[in-house]
Amino acid sequence: MVDASSALPVSRRSDREDEVPAHRHAQEALARNKREGMDLAVKARIGALSVTAVMLVFLNPYWDVLWYLFLLFCLVLVGLAQRRVGRVGQSRAELALLFADLLLMTLALLVPNPLQSAPMPTALIYNFEVFQYFFIILAAGVLTYSWRTIIAIGNWTMALWLTGTLCVWWFGRTFPELTEAANAMFPDYPDLARQFDPNNVNWDLRFQQVVVFLVVALILAVAVRRYQLLVLDSAEMARERTNLARYFSPSMVEELSTKDEPLGQIRSHDAAVLFVDIVGFTAYADGRPPQEVIETLRAFHARMESEVFAHGGTLDKYLGDGLMATFGTPLPLADDAARAVACVRSMADRMDALNADRRADGLPEIDARFGLHFGPVVLGDIGANRLEFAVLGDTVNVASRLEAMTRAVGVRAIVSDATMEAAGGSDGFRRAPDQTVRGVADPLAVWVLD
């Protein structure tokens, strides 16, 4: 069914349904539920109309029932067409098919059967209580998860049914002698005679039918609107989880998603900070096709990022051809330093495998360097309008300078002794002479990976 927003007299459309779909996840969620709803609606329609067809043949086992079977088949075709053109948002094609659906149903219920040989008063159709078949369309409309569609079905059904009743009353076939017979049967009870009059369209019942139908439609529209808001809330949470997954490991995302404002509080604790960089990448990129440069960066970043997440780290940011990762943010764990050291070792192994593939393809190797330090950091959101979770402090500066120092020392990675002590093991690293680090008063004890 269509999102029939254009059928309503709404002057301003500033509710959440109109604003939130600007987000990709909300739009995708609505589109996905729209498609699923259309599929369910078509299946429900086919099932309901099939049951109706069998019932009609059972109740009226004559050739004139073919007219109603043909109309039921047309309703199935309209439902299939609605599924084909269905999409999120306003669609004139869907609106036209929705109106055609209700119009076809009205004609099927109120227009005399052309295959019927015995003439009868047109108003006698109402004695069969045919209006209840409109509830099939209403129920199928609920499955499309559009509250505007439900309201449109209610309004259009009311207008079409009353218009059809007016046509039956004005243009329908009547038999005055039947009215006289009903009056003669109940001469002292005019109300009862009117009820048994085959020519009477019974306006009181017609208004009652459409009013009850409209009330049910409004109640269902409220229920669908509440469900739609749940879909949007779910999409918003999925978007937030996706944003978290860009920086944190899956296990950390699961924990953060269950806490209220886990990144909003400013705090300080010990964490491991890792810097990774490619030596000479600017010279490498100079003169090479942009696509080759980007593909090289993607291959490098993908391997480094996967190792950060595999060891429970946080991807703080990309730094051009390098990156900064932390272990122990936003929440500290007892083995942060050990996981950080293991991550550096795994990153080095991944770079060996990557360079082996590049040599096989005739490409130059990538020389990645690593610097790791463990110590106190400050965590919190920075910025005014656009907030960003940041890790600050001397530990960050020392880790960056250790990575830069790898070039002068001639090693792949430098890890501070404070990190190794907190990790409880060297994991293949060797002890190196103490190094003077800018900003640190005393020479720093370090471990290196050749």
**Chain segment 413-448, per-residue pLDDT in tens:** 999 999 998 888 777 888 988 888 887 878 888 898
User: Domain spans of the chain?
Assistant: 28-242, 251-449
Per-residue pLDDT band at 160 (split at 50, 70, 90):
very high
- Lowest-confidence segment of 47-51, 206-210, 236-240 by average pLDDT: 236-240
Q: What is the pLDDT of residues 107-159, one digit of tens each?
A: 888 888 788 777 788 888 888 788 988 888 888 778 766 788 889 899 999 99
12 phi and psi angles, rounded to 5 deg: -130, 130
Q: Which residues of 198-232 are buried (b: 16+ CB within 10 A; e: fewer)?
A: bbbbbeeebeebbeebbeebeebbeebbeebeebb
Q: Which residues of 234-272 are buried (b: 16+ CB within 10 A; e: fewer)?
A: ebbeebebeebeebbbeebbeebeeeeeebeeeeeeebb
Sign of CA dihedral 299, 302, 305, 309: negative
Residue 446 near residue 408, CB atoms below 8 Å: no
Q: What is the pLDDT of residues 230-280, one digit of tens each?
A: 767 766 666 666 665 565 556 556 555 555 555 556 778 889 999 999 888
Q: How many angstroms separate the Cα of 323 from the Cα of each of 258, 316, 319?
A: 28, 8, 5
Q: Which residue has the higher pLDDT, 263 or 161?
A: 161
Superfamily of segment(s) 251-449: Nucleotide cyclase, GGDEF domain (3.30.70.1230)
CB atoms within 10 A of CB 404: 15
Q: How far apart are CA 420 and CA 431, in angstroms?
A: 10
Q: How many residues does the chain have?
A: 450
Torsion angle, alpha carbons of 224, 226, 227, 230, to 10: 160
Q: What is the pLDDT of residue 333?
A: 87
The H or E element spanning position 272 is strand 267-278
Q: How far apart are CA 160 and CA 105, in angstroms?
A: 10
Q: Which residue has the higher pLDDT, 202 or 5?
A: 202
% of the chain beyond a pLDDT of 90: 17
Q: How far apart are CA 194 and CA 201, in angstroms?
A: 10
Secondary structure of residue 314 in the 3-state scheme: strand
